[in-house]
């Protein structure tokens, strides 16, 4: 893990440095369920949710953006106590603990915000590093939608719904 990593709320000013690596992840279409050709303005709008949603970035001592996450209310009404989150780590910083640090931060913030659980709606089963990370942070695979994700290399693969009570 990077000793000098800081996680903070992101601002619109951070977006260009975030999109610099997010765009490649989205365009590859291997781990994230957005349209691969999403226009940048729509991606920005989706990544910065309206309150009570939050957006975070992990930065190093030089201010380099290492990764980002957002946290949103997953449901409304009687299920409004369930949160969700999305994560992207700059591939050049993969394996350095950025995803784990962001995951721990988002979980703790969701608890402080009064959520009782977190549900991930779409974890691609071939994204084994992410699945292992979320399991290590206490998430369970509640269900897998067979062929729920069209992977550009592996074809149709399962899409996990993962859950953790907070």
Report pLDDT digits (tens) over 111-161. Answer: 999 999 999 999 999 999 999 999 999 999 999 999 999 999 999 999 999
Does residue 115 form part of some domain? yes
CATH code: domain of residue 79: 3.40.630.30
Q: Please tell me which of 1-5, 60-64, 75-79, 103-107 the model is most confident about, judged by mean pLDDT.
A: 103-107
Q: How many residues does the chain have?
A: 166
| Alpha helices (H) along the chain | 15-28, 40-47, 98-112, 128-136
Q: Taking residues 41-50, what's their average pLDDT? A: 95
Q: What is the pTM of this model?
A: 0.94
Instruction: State the residue range of the domain holding 75.
Output: 6-165
Name the domain count of the chain: 1
Q: By 3-state DSSP, what share of the chain in percent is helix, strand and coil, each rounded to 5? A: 35, 35, 30
On whether residue 41 sits in a domain, the answer given is yes
Residue 1 lies in a domain: no
């Amino acid at each position: 893990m990077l000793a000098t990593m800081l996680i903070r709320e992101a601002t619109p000013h951070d977006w260009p440095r975030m999109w610099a690596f997010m765009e490649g992840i989205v365009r590859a279409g291997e781990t994230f369920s957005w349209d691969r050709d999403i226009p940048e303005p729509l991606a920005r709008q989706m990544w910065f949710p309206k309150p009570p949603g939050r957006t975070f970035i992990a930065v190093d001592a030089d201010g380099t953006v290492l990764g980002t996450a957002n946290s949103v209310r997953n449901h409304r009404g009687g299920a409004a106590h369930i949160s969700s989150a999305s994560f992207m780590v700059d591939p050049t910083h993969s394996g350095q603990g950025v995803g784990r640090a962001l995951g721990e931060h988002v979980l703790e913030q969701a608890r402080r915000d009064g959520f009782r659980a977190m549900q991930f709606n779409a974890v691609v089963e071939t994204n084994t590093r992410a699945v292992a990370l979320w399991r290590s942070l206490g998430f369970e695979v509640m269900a897998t939608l067979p062929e729920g994700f069209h992977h550009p290399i592996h074809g149709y693969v399962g899409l996990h719904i993962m859950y953790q009570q907070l």
